[in-house]
Structures are given as C-alpha cells and as structure tokens.
A = this chain, B = another copy of it.
C-alpha cells in the first residue's frame, strides 16, 4: 500500500468494559485526535448496546472532523470469553450479552477491518507499544482487579494459545482447598490476591474493629473498599490494611516467580487501579517475593515496572493491534 494512503489513515481503539466504554481516535503517527468515554449500560440489551458503540464511533469521527473513509481499522478490547477469529463476544456476563458478532457488525457499518481482542491483551499491547513495556522482547502483564488479568507480548505480538486468549495467571492454583473462584475451581491466585479478595479481608478486619479508617469511611461493604480507599487507609495508619495488601502482593510474587522460571521475560508490568494507587508498595513487595523464589540464575534478568497508561491502555492497545493486524 502507498505511503500516501498510510499517512492519511486513522485508527480507532475501543475499550469495552463491563462498566465503562473508552473510545480513542489516532492519526497515522498515533497521536490522539479525539476521545469519548461513556458508561456501559447492561440493562438496555444487546441491540441498543451495539448501537451505542457504533454511535460512539460515529460521534468520535465527527468531533474529530475525520471522514469515515479514512479509517484504517478499528480495534476493540472486550472481556472474554471471545471467539477471536470470528470476532464474536461469546458471553459478557456484566452486560448480559451472548454471541454478539461485533467484528462483522462494525465492519459492515464502517467499511474497514475490525478486530476484537481480549481486553487484558489490548491493555498490555498498549503498554508494550506506548507505555511501561516498550522495547521488551517478552513482556508479562499482571493486573489485579475484581479478578486478576494476565497477558504476554512475545516478539511484538500478543501471545495466544489454543483457546485464543491465555495467560490466565489469576487462575494458577496457589492454595489447596482454598476459597471458591469464579472460574469454577478453588484456591486460584485471584481468590487470595485480587483487589476483590483483599477488599474482603479488609472488610473482615473492619468488622472486627481492626481497621478504624475503613470502618469509618467505607463500612464493611466490600463494594465500597476501592483502590483509593485502601491507599487512604494505609496513609491513615490502618496497619492491618497494609499487612493484607503486602501479603496479597507477596502471593502475586509467588506466582510471578514461577512465571519467570517458565518464560524468562525481560519485563514484568503490574497494573490496575490498586497497583497504580500504591506503586511503591507493590514494586517493593512483589519484587522481593519474586527474587526470593526464582532460580538464582534468573535474578537481574528482568525488570519489574508499573503500568504507565492508566485507563487508556486498552483503547490505545486495541487501536495499535488493529494497525498491527492490517499491516502484517
């Protein structure tokens, strides 16, 4: 394809979260030319939801004063499970969606290639292209939130396994007869080290009266114990809160140690709201835990970093992945 055509192209990245949508438009130099953020509304059903995505992209193009025929491609990061080849969302429980052929619908509407990818993968690809994992040959990402997302970029591409997305670091078993997990197993890493799991421990401590700041500000409802609240509680001197978070970070490091022994990455990126609220604590505790457990010959072969793109990583990565897929 000609350089002229290439230079004129724009790319859209869309991050379809269970609660938020983030759409961004990039020019051919990958400078941000426009953006829109909206809440995802599960209650309105599939048709209205898809309509909202399409309208969002149309408005983004209008606001950025870009004609749709300049679209090089659209990348859209979605929570799984997905059929990546067909670009179908198989299930999106938070929105109540099933079997939505998003790739086909977007391609029909906009007349350009569209690519559906796993949201953790697109976020990590964003960090690889523009953020904390730039320049890595093998980059592992770990994002503790409601669950724990994992992803790997290997030699410039999203690493995928037999079932499409993989790197399910959150479902590595860490505790025999441990807590029940959303995946149907028990004792997975995310049952003890996700933000949700740690919030539940913090809520218990608050209920027992050991976390006075939390009890005062958030009560014992773990839905109120969010990343910012946790950081404030630690700053305010709730010792048990810090101990719980440090122990969760230690557990992340146990599993990352095994991951280093397996995959010998050069970069490990920690991300998500809680990590980004407490970057120093996580770097310190996870780093110590990995170093104490890996094969000694792997010491100093990797760098542990905190994600740097925040909520934009998904949309940025999805757009960049669309470009990668079109151009390769």
Contact = CB atoms under 8 A, between A and B. Distances in A.
A1 interface: no
A263 B185 CA distance: 18
A168 interface: yes
Given A161-B138, A162-B138, A173-B257, A167 B262 contact: yes
Interface in A160-180: 160-164, 166-169, 171-173
A172 to B, nearest CB: 4
A308 to B, nearest CB: 21
Given A173-B293, A293-B185, A295-B183, A166 B258 contact: no
A297 B162 CA distance: 11
A93 B208 CA distance: 56
Per assembly, the copies of the chain total 2
Chain B CB count within 10 A is highest, among A160, A172, A185, A259, for A172
Interface in A272-312: 293-298, 301-302
Nearest to A254: B173
Given A168-B262, A172-B258, 20 more contacts: A137-B162, A154-B154, A161-B263, A161-B266, A162-B264, A162-B265, A162-B301, A163-B298, A166-B261, A167-B262, A167-B263, A168-B261, A168-B298, A169-B261, A173-B254, A183-B295, A183-B296, A183-B297, A255-B258, A259-B262
A113 interface: no
19 contacts: A81-B297, A150-B262, A160-B264, A161-B264, A162-B301, A166-B261, A166-B263, A166-B264, A167-B262, A167-B263, A168-B298, A171-B261, A172-B262, A173-B254, A173-B257, A173-B293, A183-B297, A185-B294, A258-B258
A266 B162 contact: yes
Contacts of A173: 254, 257-258, 293
Contacts of A137: 162
A150 B173 CA distance: 19
A257 B161 CA distance: 14
Contacts of A258: 172-173, 255, 258
Contacts of A162: 137-138, 264-266, 301-302
Nearest to A137: B162
Contacts of A254: 173
Highest count of chain B CB atoms <10 Å: which of A167, A265, A293, A296: A293
Nearest to A160: B264
Interface in A102-154: 137-138, 150, 154
